[in-house]
Chain A
Amino acid sequence: MEPPAEYEGHTDEELVRGLVLGDARSLEQISVRHARPAYSLALRMLGDPGWAEEVVQDVLLRLWRKPELFDPARGDLRKWLLTMTHHAAVDGLRGRRGTARSFDAGPDALDLLPVQDDDPADSAWRSLQAESVRRALASLPREQREVLELAYYLGLSQAEISRRTGQPLGTVKTRTRLALSKLRDSLRQAGVDG
């Protein structure tokens, strides 16, 4: 199923305005444009294609039902969809583990920072960014990469990581800080710091 060709030229903000008016073809175009990276993230986190599809569809349907949740002044649509997908997947994982949602969702915290400009249409730049991040992650010492991935992609608390890895809590925290600090510096060097 392909959305009408004229929608290809619409900006994301125009498509979201279409959602406000109940235009399902706008949702279709948003899905065609942005569902794949969201699905890739959900699958990495959940490890189950069916569950990942459900989570991403739930995020898109949430946007459909409440398009005002997305504020274009706070960043681009893909970033928002990926953030929502991450939140939903973490919720799902914590729900399955029976962990209360007592953790603050990280990216929300950044709402108090100034908005950064970027070009939502530049997919080539995004691919480059993704590749740079993968390289930066791969360059981390194994034990640092492990705690970072457990925290971000599985939504584990520092205490849960400590239990899972058998490392003292203090060590887990130190490794997480080091990992993030190195990742930030690597991304800066690669020019992927926003």
Chain B
Amino acid sequence: MKCEQVRDEIPLYVLGALDAETAGRVREHVRTCDACREELASYSEIPYALNLAVPDEPLPRGFTTRLLERVEPASRVAAPVPIARRRSWWLPWAVAAACLALAVALGVNTWRVNAELAQIHDELYAQRDYDAQMSALMSRPDIVPVVLQSSRARVRGKVYLAPDRSAAVLMVSNLPRLRKGQVYELWLNAPAHRVAVTTFVPLENGSMRFYLSPPDGLKPYKSIGITVEPAGGSPAPTSPRVVGGEL
């Protein structure tokens, strides 16, 4: 598609009035043509402007009440893989904290999650307490978001750090599916040592969340990373980081 044709189509493209094939050709062209991208950008506020330009109407009485009635208390938890989701939220937190304490006591700098410890700590740490702590951290106005880098285009990672670096929430999404016999492994790196936090398999949609609250906080750790490792994990990373960054 030539620039002249593309510029002709851009207004219709912005309105969503092009068929998928023509829209695809416009998109391809705009990706590589600065001038046409600029032309497209000149229309970028039009859809939002049209969204705002409608007559202001009051919400029907009871709108929000009816909305909340449609929110099943367990709907989020009961999503495709409920157990994995719940466990993924608390396991690394509860077990990592306890394991690190144990590891430090033993003079070992590796704390690893395993199923037995998970069972034990399932009884020790109520899910409600975990949710409360995670919620308290995430709702802090002074929380520090750190965007992680990835070599894969779609993979996203973000760490939300407590300002005093006592704890953090790690969120990753769009992690590629693993091959049989592989797991992801989460690492925290200090200048003089590396900690293998946990191995994990992400949820079906490729996402995973962790609450990290090691006893000595996150201050000692300068970076975080996730690699693909053989099942059972590795003592040190054996492949490049899928996602990671400085803390």
Give the interface of A toward B (CB within 8 A).
Answer: 1, 9-11, 14, 17-18, 20-24, 27-28, 31-32, 35-37, 39-41, 43-44, 49, 53, 56-57, 60-61, 64-65, 68, 71, 73, 79, 82-83, 85-86, 90, 102-107, 109-110, 112-114, 116, 126, 129-130, 133-134, 136-137, 148, 151-153, 155-158, 173, 176-177, 179-181, 183-184, 187, 192-194
Contacts and interface: CB of A to CB of B under 8 A. Distances in A.
Contacts of A37: 51-52, 56
Scoring B18, B43, B52, B59 by chain A CB atoms within 10 A of each residue's CB, the highest score goes to B52
Scoring A103, A106, A179 by chain B CB atoms within 10 A of each residue's CB, the highest score goes to A106
Nearest to B141: A14
B71 A103 contact: no
27 contacts: A1-B64, A24-B68, A31-B67, A39-B59, A39-B63, A44-B54, A53-B63, A64-B71, A65-B76, A71-B156, A102-B20, A103-B16, A103-B17, A104-B20, A109-B23, A109-B26, A110-B44, A112-B37, A113-B41, A113-B44, A126-B52, A134-B53, A148-B15, A151-B15, A177-B8, A177-B11, A180-B43
B239 interface: no
B56 A36 contact: yes
A27 B15 contact: no
Contacts of A103: 16-20, 23
Given A103-B16, A112-B30, A1 B65 contact: yes
Interface stretch (B98-106, B112-120, B130-138, B176-184): B130-138
Scoring B17, B23, B47 by chain A CB atoms within 10 A of each residue's CB, the highest score goes to B17
Interface string B77-109: 101000000000000000000000000000000
Contacts of A53: 60, 63, 66
A79 B135 contact: no
Nearest to B136: A21
A31 B67 CA distance: 8
Contacts of B37: 112-113
B49 interface: yes
Contact of A173 (B12, B20, B58, B141): B12
Contact of A10 (B17, B65, B139): B139
B233 to A, nearest CB: 26
Interface in B114-170: 131, 134-135, 138-139, 141, 147, 156, 160
A177 B43 contact: no
A3 to B, nearest CB: 8
B27 interface: yes
Interface string B1-28: 0000000100111111111100110110
B66 A86 contact: no
Given A82-B48, A82-B51, A177-B12, A20 B138 contact: yes
A73 B145 CA distance: 12
A57 B69 CA distance: 11
B52 A17 contact: no
Contacts of B53: 130, 133-134, 137
B40 A104 contact: no
Given A27-B68, A61-B71, A109 B50 contact: no
B82 to A, nearest CB: 12
Contacts of A133: 49-50, 52-53
